[in-house]
């Protein structure tokens, strides 16, 4: 079934097959409703999902909950919970998992896509490089702590002596998140737990807060590049489609971009004009396995 046929047949988000008792743990920062993240949360809640929304402090988490309940669009009676979570703190990740376990012991869908981009050189609370610690290790530990709930719901070295390169570090951290999805699929796909790495495209959100004004203005002035920037609803559609569409139910391990299973990237184009496709090394099972083991050691999680 194509994504278009699926969309058309579910114009009513609470139609047949959508009002499922799905528990959704969304890893997000604050600034929720009215932006990319909020579009996704409103869509999944309207489909009948029980939401667990995270933010960097309890007040902002509650604000996110209130905005989902009172936001625009279709509504459902499904519960919405807020959980405090700071991905740059492993102690906070553990506390967030504990807070979830106080309310539920099953989790159907886990969306891991919060993060930072091109930050100044820095370290997390636990001493890891900021982007690797936030974008990968925080997500990795949260998955490990919630893995039993996901299963219950289903029938390296990055240090360098060279000057800090924000974009290289960002690329490494996002490659790590793809490896995480690949390894989850390899290890648990046969048990009904699936993972899909999703690229929403270039979306105008506060993720770009560390970009220089020169880069931002250049993107907006360049007509070709400007056409690649997605609206917030378009960006939100990627994770909603991957998590809720029947087309991807029971599947995982593929690289999803622009709502399709993408092929290799065109390496002759720069990153702004080449927003789709993957680098060949994302299917390196040996590297993904090594990172899994190293990540367990870094976050102090005893692997099976």
Q: What pLDDT score was predicted for residue 204?
A: 67
Q: What pLDDT score was predicted for residue 267?
A: 67
* Backbone conformation region of residue 87, classed left if phi is above 0, alpha if psi is from -120 to 50, else beta: alpha
Mean pLDDT of 221-228: 67
Distance from C-alpha of 147 to C-alpha of 235, rounded to nearest angstrom? 27
- 297 in Cβ contact with 144 (< 8 Å): no
Burial 10-48 (b: 16+ CB within 10 A, else e): beebeeeebbeebbbbbbbbebbbebbbbbbbbbbbbbb
Pick from 114, 115, 86, 111: nearest CA to 99? 86
Instruction: Give percent of the chain above pLDDT 90.
Output: 32
Specify the DSSP class assigned to residue 27.
E
CATH 3.40.50.300 fits 3-299, yes or no: no
Q: Tell me: the pLDDT tens digits for 5-17?
A: 433 444 444 444 4
Higher pLDDT, 202 or 102: 102
Specify the DSSP class assigned to residue 264.
B
pLDDT of residue 254 exceeding 70, the answer is yes
Higher pLDDT, 28 or 49: 49
pTM: 0.64
Mean pLDDT computed over every residue of the chain: 79
Q: Which of 73-82, 83-92, 94-103 has the lowest average pLDDT? A: 73-82
Q: What pLDDT score was predicted for residue 229?
A: 76
Distance from C-alpha of 283 to C-alpha of 255, rounded to nearest angstrom? 10
pLDDT of residue 292 exceeding 90, the answer is yes
Q: What pLDDT score was predicted for residue 270?
A: 59
Domain residue spans in the chain?
3-299
- Confidence tier at 181 by pLDDT (50, 70, 90): very high
């Amino acid at each position: 079934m194509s994504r278009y046929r699926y969309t058309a047949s579910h114009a009513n988000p609470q139609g047949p097959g959508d009002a499922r008792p799905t528990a959704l743990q969304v890893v997000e920062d604050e600034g929720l409703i009215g932006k990319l993240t909020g579009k996704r949360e409103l869509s999944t809640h309207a489909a009948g999902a029980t939401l667990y929304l995270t933010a960097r402090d309890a007040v902002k988490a509650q604000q996110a909950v209130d905005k989902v309940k009172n936001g625009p669009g279709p509504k459902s009676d499904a519960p919405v919970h807020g959980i405090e979570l700071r991905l740059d703190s492993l102690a906070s990740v553990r506390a967030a998992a504990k807070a979830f376990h106080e309310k539920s012991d099953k989790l159907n869908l886990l969306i891991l896509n919060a993060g930072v981009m091109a930050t100044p050189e820095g370290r997390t609370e636990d001493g890891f490089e900021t982007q690797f610690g936030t974008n990968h290790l925080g997500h990795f530990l949260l998955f490990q702590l919630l893995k039993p709930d996901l299963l219950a719901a289903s029938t390296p070295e990055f240090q360098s002596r060279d000057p800090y390169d924000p974009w290289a570090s960002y690329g490494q951290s996002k490659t790590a998140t793809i490896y995480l999805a690949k390894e989850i699929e390899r290890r648990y796909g046969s048990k009904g737990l699936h993972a899909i790495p999703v690229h929403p495209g270039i979306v105008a959100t506060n993720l770009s807060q560390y970009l220089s004004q020169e880069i931002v203005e250049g993107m907006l002035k360049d007509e070709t590049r400007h056409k690649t920037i997605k609206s917030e609803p378009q960006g939100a559609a990627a994770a909603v489609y991957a998590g809720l569409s029947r087309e991807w139910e029971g599947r995982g391990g593929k690289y999803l971009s622009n709502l399709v299973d993408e092929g290799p990237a065109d390496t002759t184009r720069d990153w702004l004009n080449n927003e789709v496709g993957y680098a060949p090394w994302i299917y390196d099972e040996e590297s993904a396995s090594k990172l899994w083991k190293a990540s367990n050691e870094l976050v102090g999680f005893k692997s099976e």
